[in-house]
Amino acid sequence: YTTMVYISRREQFSAAHKLVREDWSAEKNLEIFGKCSSPNWHGHNYQLFVTVKGEQNPDTSFVANLSDVSKVICEKVISKLDHKNINLDVDFMHGKLSTTETLAVEIWKQLETSLEKLGCELHCVKIQETENNYVEFFGK
Ligand code: NI
């Protein structure tokens, strides 16, 4: 049998956004999206948890080197999001609602291939937007 081991790296970013559908009235946006629909933007301190899985390397016993995992996350995702406006500045979020759900799905797409090159497989992208809310995406 094989031993599948899961390892995770946390990164953090601060970013602005608003949740607004242009085809809805301000009242409906407020009703559905609450405070996140506020027209003049607001920010969150997001925590991003990336979990990869794989078998242990027999020489190092690592699944992957977490500092390499961190480099991939920073290059592909954090550098594009940190201190940016998610709606306006982030190429992979253009034209999309900046919900935590959509962020998780789009971050997955940014990371999947580069993490495979480290010899592991992306398992979960988890994003914590506030202390009490988090979203997880497992790739399908
Ligand atoms: Ni918000």
Instruction: Kindly report, residue by residue over 25-41, the tens digit of the pLDDT.
Output: 999 999 999 999 999 99
Please write the tens of the pLDDT for every residue from 44-84: 999 999 999 999 999 999 999 999 999 999 999 999 999 99
Cross-sheet strand order for the sheet of 42-55? 84-85, 4-17, 42-55, 121-130, 133-137
The one catalytic residue among 31, 83, 101, 116: 83
Is 42 an active-site residue? no
Is 83 an active-site residue? yes
The one catalytic residue among 11, 112, 121, 129: 129
Indicate the pTM of the whole model. 0.95
The one catalytic residue among 36, 44, 106, 120: 36
Q: Using CA atoms, how far apart are residues 7 and 120, in angstroms rounded to an integer? A: 10
Is 44 an active-site residue? no
